[in-house]
Structure 1
Amino acid sequence: MTLKAWHKILIFLFAIVVFLRVTSNPAAERAYYSDDMNYPLVIAHQGGDEVWPGDTLFAYQNAAALGVDVLEMDIHISRDGVLVLMHDEKVDRTTDGTGEIESMTLAELKQLDAGYDWSLDEGQTFPFRGQGITVTTLEEVFQAFPEKHMTIEIKKSNASMVRPFCELIRKYEMQDKVLVASFYDDKIKEFRAECPEVATSSAKQETTVFVLLSKAFLSGYYSPKFLSLQVPEESGGITVVTEAFVRAAHARGLAVEVWTINDKETMQKLISWGVDGIMTDRPDILMELVGR
């Protein structure tokens, strides 16, 4: 190839780079992250799953009493179309029942003891058994905490829960209080189409792309459709969250919220790097650390 041909190729590549840089846009502003919020945000993972039975109204009541900034939860859909909170697709791990949530009606789910298998001493004691803690619906949480910010993760399901989810958000006017998350890119895409006014975090592929671009110092060319990067500190042997990663995200108008951090040393390090939120099973530890 001649020198002239190489010169043309370089000019062409440079033009592409300039075009991408000029046409790329940072994340659109949303009301979810308001100026009067305390940062870093204390995000109670499942309401604080190492303090109380997670994804229950009981946990959220206690987390709210602590003064946490954000309640995090996971949604599934029952056989009769009700959105309920639970981390797993089955009820086996946390309740006294068995079976898939999607195969059970709300009435059947409400008969279960949602505090049955919660234990901090590897099953020697079960302090919340028989305490009346039941499977919680999303509507119950909206009714109980209309002013609270929430991160709500759409879990795996056969039936789509996007439309009833969006309808519930609008019914309780939670559009500016809710940040929607999911590991599944198709579910996030479906939700954004149905409920475009509600903020979302990045799904799996979106997160991967941004992480790789940030490692190559090319994140400035990325136009995010999301508002937040909810990421682990490490994944698959790769360090995701670094001080440089946080700076790159902020340059694109993105918040960085790290999960699931339960030790004080790591919390302190992330705070010093300027992360916007920390998702934790121990909101009591994080609240003490930030002096609230």
Structure 2
Amino acid sequence: MRKRNIILLLVVTAAGAVYLNNTSLLSDRAAGKPVVLAHRGLAQEYDRTGLTKDTCTAERMLPPRHDYLENTVRSMDAAFRRGADVLELDVHPTTDGKFAVFHDWTVDCRTEGNGETRSHSMADLKKLDVGYGYTADGGKTYPFRGQGVGLMPSLDEVMERFPDRRFHINVKSNDAKEGEALAAFLSALPRERQAALTIVGGDRPLQAVKAALPDMRTLSKKSLTRCLLRYAGLGWSGYVPEDCRGTTLGVPINFAPWLWGWPDRFLDRMESAGTNVYLFGPYHGGGFSDGIDDPAIIETLPAGYSGGISTDALELVMPALERRSN
């Protein structure tokens, strides 16, 4: 009986120690506002039912609430003016040594052109109309046709236009050579500019970026999975695994409460390890979850939450954040 009581006491003591090491009640982290990551700037919403990687989303646009087109400088400028702290953009290499800022693997969906985006020169891509393919009524009308000519920017244009802003640069392939080319571009930027960037994509290009620029923040599905699994096993102690250091994490909002120390202790640990944290929408299986696009979800954020959130619907989410802060 005495031995059993000793074991029980040890278990209770250990559980209490784990609780104290992870409860946010004892954190001195100051309350703040979320850091807002706008996915592709201000973009047109589309019906996500039955989406595949080959779905032309411009053909299933929802009735537009604004006239901004994703991944354009005009859209980015509007997103920053509306309160975004960070922007995500997509890049493809071009035949003339540039990086085009454009989401799709081919230009067939959104423009009047055809072929893989990377098979064109930046000069030729500048001639295309990035608003050409958008329709909300099955092709009866195309409200942005003619308005997007010349609006596909290059990555160097974006960096020059927004020299002090933070970006997530999404590499759309899993090609190591593309990572090497992007690393060469990034290497020419000042170190303080590099520090404001996160490179997102497949493991191969990200490994190439890391090999050339070890301090660059990166995020891939595999690196995120490795970090979260190892933190799940070791985070109770306050230890931050190497896979979680000096990086960026995208955490589904329905997964976050299960993280050791969530929210404040977890955010403090990641911040001290040089890692940025962004909440995404609920995860339901598959790849990355969507952004937090429903204003009602904003009300479920922890009180005083000062980590990041990612959204595809900035114009809906910002008013909810403003109401929350008042």
Q: Could you tell me the TM-score, scaled by structure 1's length?
A: 0.74
SS of the residue 1:161 aligns to: helix
Correspondence for 1:284: 315
Q: More deviation in 166-175 or 203-212?
A: 166-175
In structure 2, distance between residues paired with 1:42 and 1:268:
15
Instruction: Answer yes or no: is 1:49 the counterpart of 2:38.
Output: no
Per-residue Cα deviation, 1:178-198 (whole angstroms, up to 9, x for no partner)? 12222x122221111112233
SS of the residue 1:150 aligns to: strand
Instruction: Answer yes or no: is 1:115 the counterpart of 2:146.
Output: no
Q: C-alpha displacement at 1:125, in angstroms?
A: 4.1
Per-residue Cα deviation, 1:244-288 (whole angstroms, up to 9, x for no partner)? 364474334443213312110123323548362121121122222
Q: More deviation in 101-110 or 165-174?
A: 165-174
Correspondence for 2:195: 176
Correspondence for 1:262: 293
Residues 1:229 and 1:159: Cα distance change in structure 2 (over 3 Å): closer
Q: C-alpha displacement at 1:119, in angstroms?
A: 4.2
Structure 2 regions of 5+ residues with no counterpart?
Answer: 1-31, 45-65, 281-290
In structure 1, distance between residues paired with 2:137 and 2:295:
21
In structure 1, distance between residues paired with 2:240 and 2:101:
37
In structure 2, distance between residues paired with 1:196 and 1:240:
29
Instruction: Answer yes or no: is 1:101 the counterpart of 2:122.
Output: no
In structure 2, distance between residues paired with 1:210 and 1:123:
44
In structure 2, distance between residues paired with 1:92 and 1:205:
30
SS of the residue 1:258 aligns to: strand
Q: More deviation in 135-144 or 55-64?
A: 55-64
Correspondence for 1:150: 167
In structure 1, distance between residues paired with 2:241 and 2:252:
20
In structure 2, distance between residues paired with 1:242 and 1:93:
39
Q: More deviation in 150-159 or 77-86?
A: 150-159
Instruction: Answer yes or no: is 1:240 the counterpart of 2:259.
Output: no
1:166 to 183, 198, 202: 183
Determine if contact 1:199/1:227 at 8 Å carries over to the other structure.
yes
In structure 2, distance between residues paired with 1:186 and 1:164:
12
Per-residue Cα deviation, 1:95-144 (whole angstroms, up to 9, x for no partner)? 22221112111122112111122345665543322114422111111111
**How many pairs are equivalent?**
248
SS of the residue 1:47 aligns to: coil
- Sequence identity percentage: 28
Mapping for residues 1-292 of structure 1, pairs under 5 Å: 39-50=33-44, 52-119=68-135, 123=139, 125-133=141-149, 134-156=151-173, 158=175, 160-173=177-190, 174-182=193-201, 184-200=202-218, 202-216=219-233, 218=235, 220=239, 222-223=241-242, 224-233=244-253, 239-242=254-257, 244=259, 246-247=262-263, 249-250=266-267, 251-253=269-271, 254-259=275-280, 260-270=291-301, 272=303, 274=305, 276-291=307-322
Residues 1:225 and 1:62: Cα distance change in structure 2 (over 3 Å): same
Correspondence for 2:16: none
Flag the structure with more relative contact order, 1 or 2, with Cα contacts below 8 A and sequence separation at least 6. Answer: 1
Q: Which amino acid aligns with 2:97?
A: G
Per-residue Cα deviation, 1:153-208 (whole angstroms, up to 9, x for no partner)? 122065723344334334443212212222x12222111111223322x3222211
Q: Which amino acid aligns with 2:292?
A: I
Residues 1:119 and 1:171: Cα distance change in structure 2 (over 3 Å): farther
Residues 1:252 and 1:69: Cα distance change in structure 2 (over 3 Å): closer
In structure 2, distance between residues paired with 1:203 and 1:157:
10
Residues 1:255 and 1:58: Cα distance change in structure 2 (over 3 Å): same
